[in-house]
Amino acid sequence: MLVFESAGLPVPALRFALEDATPFAVAPFCVSSRPNFTPMFSDAHAHLSYPQYDDDRDEIVKRLQDHRVSLVINPGTDVETSRNAIELAKSLPFVYANVGLHPDDANRFDPSDFDTLESLSHCEKVVAIGEIGLDYHYPDHDKKRQEECFREMLRMAKRRDLPVVIHSRDAWDDTFRILEEEKSSNLRGMMHCFSGGIEEAERCLRLGFKISIPGIVTFKKSNLPDVVAQLSLDDILTETDCPWLAPVPHRGKRNEPAFVVEVAKKIADIKGVSVELVAEKVFRNLVSLMQIQTSD
Ligand SMILES: [Zn+2]
């Protein structure tokens, strides 16, 4: 799949240097010929390989550089999207991939796909298994099938010693039950697009998971500001979950990784600290969780 390479992405121009740049000591994970690109913001969950960006992906990438978004994690939701995530990650130095199976895809999944996903998980730049989990939002879901797939993928992550990226929607009780039953010393990861309250957040932390805060934190009626206020910056990640859920002031538009800056700003407001501090902390949290190699 050479889709991304043939899309004319300015790959060499994206090699950026962190050594020139940091007002704080953020570890470089990639060496650069581009000065003045300060590493700062990180998007822990962005579907940048989706076709929604096929017409203007190079502009989206340029904008995230302009906004100093220096690390993007692109999840997979089935075999095809996992492959696409890996191809994109290979073409862009600051993009890393996850290999996963979304609960919405559990029904149309062929059991042999597990083997395919496991071999894909060995590819270069795959840093986690995700997204995986449970989604009971739509009435036609098959709880039993979702649970089987979720467990299968958790076991894969444990075998591969990789963190997991969990999607849990209207399904907290079963999510916690399964995670507790599958618990092991190397089961760890992030709750992507966290939507619970402080109790759920604390339960996730006890299970060894980081809390990934999406653009919803900027919405007027969101309860996430209360949750963020009670969490330590050591336990938080920032994400867009693009192309969905664009934060204010972009709400209703197609989301993109550059908008993760709005999430970090909002967290800084809630915490009463600088946006640079938030960016540095969540960047370090993400690099450490995903064990992304840094050069210092
Ligand atoms: Zn997602």
Instruction: Give the other-Cβ count within 10 Å of 284's Cβ.
Output: 18
Report the candidate in 198, 194, 159 with the shortest Cα–Cα distance to residue 175. Answer: 194
Distance 46 CA to ligand 1 centre (A): 7
114 within a domain of the structure (yes/no): yes
The domain that contains 144 carries what CATH number? Answer: 3.20.20.140
In a domain, 14, yes or no: no
C-alpha 267 chain-centroid distance: 17
pLDDT value, residue 295: 58
Instruction: Quickly list DSSP for 198-239.
Output: HHHHHHHHHTTEEEEE-GGGGSTT-SHHHHHHHS-GGGEEE-
Quick check: helix, strand or coil at residue 131?
Answer: strand
Ligand 1 midpoint to CA 36 (Å): 31
**Confidence label for 38 from pLDDT (cuts 50, 70 and 90):** low
CA 134 – CA 151 distance, rounded (Å): 10
* Cβ contacts of 155 within 8 Å, gap of 6 or more: 182
Q: Does the pLDDT value for residue 35 go beyond 60?
A: no
Question: How far does residue 75's CA lie from ligand 1's centre (Å)?
Answer: 7
Q: Is 153 helix (H, G, I), strand (E, B) or coil?
A: helix
| 26 occurs within a structural domain | no
Number of domains in the chain: 1
* Ligand 1 centroid from CA 20, angstroms: 33
Q: Is residue 202 part of a domain?
A: yes
> What mean pLDDT comes out for the span 10-15?
31
pTM of the model: 0.87
Q: How far apart are CA 275 and CA 41, in angstroms?
A: 9
- For residue 125, is it left (φ>0), alpha (ψ between -120 and 50) or beta? left
Higher pLDDT, 100 or 296: 100
Rg (CA), the chain: 18
State in Å: Cα 283 to ligand 1 middle: 19
Distance 82 CA to ligand 1 centre (A): 12
Task: Summarize pLDDT for 151-165 with one digit per residue, the tens.
Answer: 999 999 999 999 999
* Residue 230 CA to ligand 1 centre (angstroms): 25
Instruction: Give 216 Cα–ligand 1 centroid separation in angstroms.
Output: 14
The answer as to whether 198 is a domain residue is yes
Q: How far apart are CA 62 and CA 42, in angstroms?
A: 15
> Which tens digits make up the pLDDT trace of 202-247?
999 999 999 999 999 999 999 999 999 999 999 999 999 999 999 9
Does residue 258 lie in a domain region?
Answer: yes
Beta bridge partners of residue 188, listed in sequence order: none
The better pLDDT of the pair 268, 111 is held by: 268
Taking every pair of Cα atoms in the chain, the longest distance, rounded to a whole number of angstroms, is: 52
Rounded Cα distance, 229 and 251, in Å: 22
117-127 pLDDT, tens digit each: 999 999 999 99
104 Cα–ligand 1 center, Å: 11
User: Are the CB atoms for 216 and 237 separated by under 8 Å?
Assistant: no
Q: What is the mean pLDDT of the chain?
A: 87
Q: Is residue 19 part of a domain?
A: no
pLDDT > 60? residue 4: no
In a domain, 273, yes or no: yes
Per the listing, tokens 């980081």 go with: 210
CA of residue 244 to ligand 1 center, whole Å: 9
Question: What token pair was written down for 240?
Answer: 């867009």
Ligand 1 geometric centre to CA of 234 (Å): 22
| pLDDT at site 294 | 67
For residue 200, the enclosing domain spans: 40-289
pLDDT tens, 136-147?
Answer: 998 888 999 999
